[in-house]
Amino acid sequence: MRLSRYFLPVLRETPSEAQIVSHRLMLRAGMIKQASAGIYSWLPLGYRVLRNIERIVHEEQARAGHIPILMPTVQSADLWRESGRYDVYGEEMLRISDRHGHDLLYGPTNEELVTDIFRAHVRSYRDLPLSLYHIQWKFRDEIRPRYGVMRGREFFMKDGYNFDIDRDSALHAYNRHMVSYLRTYERMGLRAIPMRAASGPIGGDDTHEFLVLADTGESEVFYDSGITDLTLGDRAVDYDDREECAAIAREFTGPYARTDETHDEALFLKVPEARRKTSRGIEVGQIFYFGTKYSGAMGATVQDPRGRAVPVHMGSHGIGVSRLAGAIIEASHDDDGIIWPEEVAPFRAGIVNVKQGDSATDAACEALYGRMVSAGIETLYDDREERPGAKFATMDLIGLPWRITVGPRGLAKGKVELRCRRTGQGEEMEPEAVVGRLDASSPAASPDAAGTPDTV
RNA sequence: CGGGGCGUGGCGCAGUCUGGUAGCGCACCUGUUUUGGGUACAGGGGGUCGUGAGUUCGAAUCUCGCCGCCCCGACCA
């Protein structure tokens, strides 16, 4: 993409309403524009990031065997009356009515809808297990939205629902989701820690939240520092292997890690003092097992092998996709701007033409840009008539992982500079070598990391 | 919803107390200049001062109502 033809409304000054760093940077980098309180438009750069996060979630869901669908944002109140939640949910639910006076609502979550789909089509235990999910906009009418997309009223969320014949199978689904979530966050460059959680209005007996450590987090968290050393890495996981998934779940939930809601001081004190940490965290996902709560209330049953109708065991799982855009920035930035992890970056690399209008420099940039595009490397070429300083500042602000600086000084030696945003390390090389160097450092080059699922 | 604050050009702000016909920086347009970390100079365009009513010869400024937004708290992916 040539920047001169793009739409990247960066701001030199921070709008006064933005208080936390991710909100400030998203506004300054031209990623979002507030439409009204807690509701945002996603501008081109932000939209690219949002789509990347969504893509990673889809890919990891597919890998774990979960099936994408798409349910509507507007739902009938009748379904919620059936589950008993229409009255329980409270003011947070946006209630609307159509021209016939029928009560509708803008979905804050989708247990009712997905259960309705399930009971319409699934009759036999032999159709289980089934795990459906979608990524769709939600609306929760927060009393006080804040922190930009981290706590909007409208937000983009992956929510999934599993249906199993019994508790053991449902707990396997729970563990499977935990593993797939761990991998999802790792691919986004995040260390998200599963913490035992309180259940809230969704209900459920077993539930873990995933929290990213950041000073601006809304929850106070207590944890054994041993847990931050754990990584899933690229180990091959068989998602159908109950014991393997359970073992990974045990590994990642073994060390003490809880939010203030479930914190147990006595247990915490058993952690060796040197490893006892207190911090703040941003919740970026949650998984639940809630048994037959909805299936019982809404008649979602299957026939078991002996022909008896039994309510299915369910769980649900959510990842805040739009919130993650903010959370990643909270976890990865410096004074100059955002530092995108490779897989979520809006572009992988940026080219800075230091002397726009100089025929030799322009030609070198064009040639390099052409090679990058041909190689499939998403590149933003800053071909504006701007001073070098302004271009560097823009690149730092929008945080692309790699910057290639092209100017007369380097070209005199036949070189350009490739610089890593995260480390600040620069490296001079011939323009022809850039593509090869970026290919070698690609996260997609690691084993089976980025298979594209055929389902999405 | 309780408490606090703010709405003046795209962004950041001054002007409001003490009414007199709107200003600064950045951004934008034109020209010259400059070109390896937000260049310099000159010229220029753009604002019914959130909104409605009232007071007044005269309202961004005073009074009342309404709307929007932000911050702290309880609540939430």
pLDDT in tens, A412-425: 999 999 999 999 99
Rounded CA-CA distance A169/A436 in Å is 47
Closest by alpha carbon to A125, among A320, A324, A295? A295
Q: Which tens digit of pLDDT belongs to each residue from A123-134?
A: 999 999 999 999
Q: Is the pLDDT of residue A174 over 90?
A: yes
| pLDDT of A298 | 82
Reported as a pLDDT band with limits 50, 70 and 90, residue A260 is: confident
Q: What's the pLDDT band for A447 if we cut at 50, 70, 90?
A: very low
pLDDT over 90 (residue A215): no
**Rounded mean pLDDT, A380-397:** 96
A95 in contact with nucleic chain B (CB within 7 A): no
Q: What is the 3-state secondary structure (H, E, C) of chain A?
A: CEHHHCCCCCCCCCCCCCCCHHHHHHHHCCCEEEEECCEEEECHHHHHHHHHHHHHHHHHHHHCCCEECCCCCEEEHHHHHHHCHHHHCHHHCEEEECCCCCEEEECCCCHHHHHHHHHHHCCEHHHCCEEEEEEEEEECCCCCCECHHHECCEEEEEEEEEEECCHHHHHHHHHHHHHHHHHHHHHCCCCEEEEECCCHHHCCCEEEEEEEECCCCCEEEEEEHHHHHCCCCCCCCCCCCHHHHHHHHHHHHCCCEEECCCCCHHHHCCCCHHHEEEEEEEEEEEEEEEECHHHHHHCCEEECCCCCEEECEEEEEEEEHHHHHHHHHHHCEECCEECCCCCCCCCCEEEEECCCCCHHHHHHHHHHHHHHHHCCCCEEEECCCCCHHHHHHHHHHHCCCEEEEECHHHHCCCCEEEEECCCCCEEEECHHHHHHHHHHCCHHHCCCCCCCCCCC
| Nearest protein residue, CA measured to C1' of B37 | A389
pLDDT at residue number A186: 96
Protein-nucleic contacts, chain A 186-205 to strand B, CB < 7 Å: 200-202
Answer yes or no: is pLDDT of A456 > 50. no
Q: Which of residues 389-428 of A touch strand B (CB under 7 A)?
A: 389-390, 392-394, 396-397, 405-411, 417, 419
pLDDT of residue A297: 84
Q: List the Cα angle A287/A288/A290 in 5-degree steps.
A: 170
Residue A448's pLDDT is what?
41
Position A203 scores a pLDDT of: 52
Q: Which residues pair with A196 in a beta bridge?
A: A208, A258
Interval A267-276 mean pLDDT: 93
Q: What distance in Å separates the CA atoms of residue A270 and residue A267, rounded to the nearest whole number?
A: 5
Given a cut of 90, whether residue A269 has pLDDT beyond it is yes
Q: What is the mean pLDDT of chain A?
A: 91
Predicted TM-score of the model (pTM): 0.94
Confidence bin at A452 (pLDDT 50/70/90): very low
User: Is the distance from CB of A283 to CB of A218 less than 8 angstroms?
Assistant: yes
Nucleotide nearest A408, CA–C1', reads B36
Residue burial A356-392, b: 16+ Cβ < 10 Å; e: rest:
beeeebeebbbebbeebeeeebbbbbbbbebeeeebb
- On the question of pLDDT at A451 being above 70, the answer is no
Q: Which nucleotide is nearest to A283 (CA to C1')?
A: B77
CB of A277 closer than 8 Å to CB of A222 = yes
User: Given a cut of 50, is residue A60 above it in pLDDT?
Assistant: yes
For residue range A334-367, list pLDDT tens digits in order: 999 999 999 999 999 999 999 999 999 999 999 9
Lowest mean pLDDT among A57-61, A204-208, A269-273, A360-364: A204-208
> Tell me, what's the pLDDT at A46?
96
Q: Please report, rounded to whole angstroms, the spatial distance between the CA atom of protein residue A358 and the C1' atom of nucleotide B19.
A: 57
A106 touches strand B (CB under 7 A): no
The average pLDDT across A209-226 equals 90
Interatomic separation, CA of residue A290 and C1' of nucleotide B27, rounded (Å):
54
- The integer distance in angstroms from the CA atom of A89 to the C1' atom of B53 is 40
Non-local CB neighbours of A305 within 8 Å, separated by 6+ positions? A125
pLDDT tier for residue A202 given thresholds of 50, 70 and 90: low
pLDDT of residue A236: 92
**Does residue A157 carry a pLDDT above 80?**
yes
Nearest to A412 by CA among A355, A352, A351, A370: A355
Residue A215: phi and psi, rounded to 5, are: -60, -30
Alpha carbon of A369 to those of A301, A404, A409, A420: distances in Å? 58, 10, 19, 18
pLDDT tens digits, one per residue of A62-78: 999 999 999 999 999 99
Q: What is the rounded average pLDDT of the residues A191-210?
A: 78
- pLDDT above 80 for A446: no
Contact flag, residue A92 CB and nucleic strand B, below 7 A: yes
Q: Which of the four pLDDT bands, split at 50, 70 and 90, describes residue A331?
A: very high
Tell me what pLDDT residue A443 has.
Answer: 66
